[in-house]
Amino acid sequence: MTATDSLLKISTYRSVAQSNPVTLLGLGAVLLGGLIGVSLNQPNHQEDGTPASLSRISGAFSLMQSFHGDSKRPAPKLWYQRLGLVRAANLWKRQGRAIWWQGWSEDGDAYLILPDQLLATDTKNLRKHQVLGLTLLGSDELHRQQLIQRLQRQPERPPQPTSLQSRCMQRLANAPAVFWTSDALAAISGTRALLLQQASHGCLALRLIGNTLHWGGFVGDRSLAFAVSQPKSGWKFLVSERQKPANFDRDSLLEVHGARVDLILGTLLSREIIQKPLEDQYGVNQSIRSRLALAPFSLRLKQQAKGAYRAELQFQAPLPGGAAAWASVLDRVSNRLEERGFERINPAEDKAKKSDAVIWKDKREGQNKVVGGWRWLQNPNKPMLLSAGLAGLPVTKPFYQALPASTRLALKLDARPRDLLSLGLINGSSPALLKQADSLQFQIKPAIHASKLKASGQQAWWEVTGQLVLSSAAESSDDSD
């Protein structure tokens, strides 16, 4: 089984200890990268050297995850695969509530990682490799040798104590958490990896409270080992507080409010394969792309009760300069749509007043369906809003929400995964934990402040908090790690 298979075949949260430990990095929408089985009691602290040991081996894995043991349940499948039936059952009982780990290598093999003292002298016929008090168990001798080669290529120099990497290893040593690199993200998200580049590396702490899985940690577009500075107030993993999920618009399947468009489209806008047609066909040059990238926005996905589409996407943003500044761009878009056979209509919502909305219909091959459109909304003492719709009409009432500067929030997302699944808008291969969730929410804010970091996209690391509410209660309603 490959790493991707393992990561995507998660069943329910409560049964995770009975199967291969798995992780979902979805950050679905955007991800979410790293939701996984967390057990139910307080962690047993590892010896002081465990974080350094985990840091030493982390470079050999694209993803690492920590778990509590639970002798009340059967040993996980991986234990039986790497240790054998009898030895796995015995060691699982001795493990108790202590932390153990699983790592996924670049070639997809899963490794069981245990403290040396658990195995003691019971190591006959094991394909193991020991590193600084940890025993790494692979599937066969070939993978063991490949692991040794990867470890030999890693620098012996530990990361700086103040780095996010070091703090991540401390969390992995003591409680449920997940750590990943860009290789893991690419394996899990496939073609969607382009949209998730700002979370290509990360580390999340996890906690189950009742039927709600909380997470908190950090993501970035480069290794966490490079993040050597810390906020003045100090830094630690913060699991999001117990709170009721936001009751966002009941008709919405998904809502996203962001401080900058480039938080979700930055990677695409920076690629030449995207930039060239935008410039050649629509006149969207570098200056216009920069203005668009820095614009705050809101978008939402709403179910359609009737019509050709299951849902419609709505977007609103106070684009700089208003309608006049963007008229030429929208005219170019209109010309391209007409060339492709779409028909433009200008509906009059009020018989006495011409509507300023631009609506596009597809009447080819006998169809008569609205494919989208846009309009400008003007509110007193507020900037003009571009209101655009895809697979539906542009709405006439503002839903744009500016994120308060005092909160430092850069992005806020709310979703209803089960509803998205019922409409076929979540891929069937998505993790079961996500598909069974009634609600999902997460938010991000800059993790590290420095005067040289501007709001124009130079921020490399982000603090992430969120929660996933399952459709049925978990086994414990107490605060758990």
Q: What are 318-374's pLDDT values in tens digits?
A: 998 889 989 989 999 999 899 989 999 876 554 444 567 899 999 888 888 889 999
Q: Which amino acid is at 193?
A: A
Backbone angles phi, psi at 405, to 5 degrees: -60, -30
Backbone angles phi, psi at 262, to 5 degrees: -70, -10
The predicted pLDDT at position 8 comes to: 28
Asked if 254 and 302 count as a contact pair (C-beta separation under 8 A), the reply is no
The predicted pLDDT at position 229 comes to: 64
CA distances from 16 to 6, 48, 134, 161, 327 (A): 12, 28, 23, 33, 54
Nearest-10 crossing angle of helices 262-269, 286-293: 160
Q: What is the pTM of this model?
A: 0.76
Instruction: At 61, list the tokens.
Output: 């894995």
The predicted pLDDT at position 414 comes to: 92
Tell me the C-alpha distance between 406 and 282, whole Å. 37
- Go through 149-185 and write b for each residue having 16 or more CB atoms within 10 A of its CB, e for each that does not: ebeeeeeeeebeeebbbbbbbbbbbbbbbbbbbbbbb
Q: Which amino acid is at 271?
A: R
CA distances from 452 to 101, 165, 449 (A): 38, 22, 9
**Contacts within 8 Å (CB) and 24+ apart, 229-236:** 229/162, 229/448, 229/450, 230/162, 230/448, 231/447, 231/448, 231/449, 235/164, 235/167, 236/167
**Which DSSP symbol is given to 460?**
-
Please list the rounded mean pLDDT of every run of 10 residues in the chain (481 residues): 31 30 32 31 49 87 90 91 91 92 85 88 77 86 81 67 80 90 72 67 85 86 75 52 61 91 78 82 84 92 85 93 90 90 74 70 86 90 91 92 87 90 76 82 78 51 86 47 50
> DSSP secondary structure string, 319-360?
-TTHHHHHHHHHHHHHHHHHHTT-EEE---SBTTB----EEE
Q: Residue 267 belongs to what H/E stretch? A: helix 262-269
Q: CA angle 327-287-401, nearest 5°?
A: 70
CA distances from 336 to 283, 324, 342, 360, 391 (A): 11, 20, 9, 12, 18
The predicted pLDDT at position 246 comes to: 60
Q: How many CB atoms lie within 10 A of CB 93?
A: 12
Tell me the C-alpha distance between 466 and 340, whole Å. 42
Q: What is the dihedral of CA 71, 72, 75, 76, to 10 degrees?
A: -110
> DSSP secondary structure string, 143-186?
HHHHHHHHHHHS-SPPPPTTSHHHHHHHHHHHS-EEEE-HHHHH
Task: Compute and round to an integer the Cα radius of gyration of the chain.
Answer: 25
